[in-house]
């Protein structure tokens, strides 16, 4: 490497050094530190004590709440992610139709996705109140007695799934951007051939949109495994641990019980689960995702 090339590289590294330092101090080092802490018993007050694989052994063999939190999280991901993709894609198709006031409708459906999660949770606690809530009030007008949404183990997780649809406007915008890349000439040719709306969706729209759907699927899966704020504010894991999400249980072990070693082990198990789930999805993409060069 020439001297001039080395000087150029040095200047480049100097420019990105603030990011490198920040990443090393605030991301890479805590990441590696948590791996070491997962093999210790650490309560913040005293020094970490090496216990080997004891935390992992206790998680898999002695902690029923660990398995309950995994079940709740996987159930939520299996229902909320496909439902969110379906609703977001459906809204995008509807809002892609040229009608008067199209921009206003797009804005109205997008705004809920940028409302802070805490504010959304507080609003829905009131909306789903069994006595004075707006939702049960509307159901009562049509002769239906609404359930105790957030305080009934049968309905609590379903309620959080329904609330997750409140923010589909974010993915809707991504789908709308993807729909703009579908060539209009293909739609015009299909109309000449007499193709129905369903056949146009199946043969033209769907293949072009699969990369966008795949992106939202990956982000949805990762987000569902990190689901925390709504459950923490609205149910705090109850009733009867029916909404005890994995991230919420991890938070309780770390900051309520100050069992940092145990929580670090949980964090690494979550890391492995997320990496495994995304890897499986990436392995399946060749079968259904169609890129431009396919």
80 belongs to a structural domain: yes
4 within domain boundaries? no
Question: Per the domain annotation, does 279 fall within a domain?
Answer: yes
Instruction: Tell me how far apart the alpha carbons of residues 155 and 147 are, in angstroms, rounded to a whole number.
Output: 7
pLDDT of residue 241: 93
Q: Per the structure, how many domains does the chain have?
A: 1
According to the model, what pLDDT value does residue 293 have?
A: 54
Q: Give the pLDDT mean for 114-126.
A: 93
- Residue 241 domain boundaries: 61-288
On whether residue 23 sits in a domain, the answer given is no
- Condensed to tens digits (0 to 9), the pLDDT of residues 225-279 reads 999 999 999 999 989 999 999 999 999 999 999 999 999 999 999 999 999 999 9
Before 239, cis peptide (omega within 30)?
yes
What percent of the chain stands above pLDDT 70? 99
In the predicted model, what is the mean pLDDT of residues 100-117?
Answer: 91
pLDDT above 90 for 280: yes
Q: What is the pTM of this model?
A: 0.91
In a domain, 79, yes or no: yes
Mean pLDDT of the chain: 92
Establish if 259 belongs to a structural domain. yes
Q: What is the per-residue pLDDT for 294?
A: 53
pLDDT at 55 over 70: yes
278 domain-assigned: yes
Is the model more confident about 28 or about 4? 28
Report the distance separating Cα 238 and Cα 245, nearest Å: 10
CATH classification at residue 191 = 1.10.3720.10
Do residues 124 and 164 lie in contact, with contact meaning Cβ atoms separated by under 8 Å? no
- CA-CA distances (angstroms) from residue 92 to 86, 111, 171, 205? 10, 14, 9, 12
Domain-embedded: residue 109: yes
């Amino acid at each position: 490497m020439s001297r001039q090339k080395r000087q150029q590289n040095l200047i480049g590294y100097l420019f990105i050094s603030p990011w490198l330092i920040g990443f090393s101090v605030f991301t890479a080092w805590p990441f590696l530190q948590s791996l070491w802490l997962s093999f210790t018993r650490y309560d913040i007050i005293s020094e970490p004590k090496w216990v080997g694989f004891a935390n992992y052994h206790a998680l898999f063999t002695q902690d029923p709440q660990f398995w309950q939190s995994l079940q709740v999280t996987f159930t939520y991901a299996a229902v909320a992610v496909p439902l969110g993709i379906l609703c977001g894609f459906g809204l995008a198709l509807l809002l892609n139709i040229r009608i008067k006031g199209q921009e206003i409708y797009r804005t109205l459906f997008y705004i809920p996705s940028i409302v802070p999660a805490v504010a959304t949770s507080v609003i829905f606690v009131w909306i789903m109140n069994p006595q004075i809530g707006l939702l049960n009030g509307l159901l009562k007008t049509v002769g239906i007695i609404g359930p105790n949404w957030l305080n009934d183990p049968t309905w609590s997780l379903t309620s959080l799934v329904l609330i997750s649809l409140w923010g589909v406007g974010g993915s809707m915008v991504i789908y709308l951007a993807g729909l703009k890349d579908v060539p209009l000439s293909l739609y015009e040719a299909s109309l000449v051939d007499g193709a129905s709306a369903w056949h146009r969706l199946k043969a033209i729209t769907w293949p072009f949109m699969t990369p966008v759907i795949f992106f939202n699927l990956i982000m949805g899966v990762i987000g569902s495994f990190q689901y925390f704020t709504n459950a923490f504010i609205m149910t705090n894991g109850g009733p009867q641990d029916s909404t005890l999400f994995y991230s919420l249980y991890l938070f309780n072990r770390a900051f309520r019980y100050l069992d940092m070693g145990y929580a670090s082990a949980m964090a690494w198990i979550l890391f492995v689960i997320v990496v495994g789930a995304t890897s499986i999805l990436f392995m399946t993409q060749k079968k259904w995702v169609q890129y431009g060069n396919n």
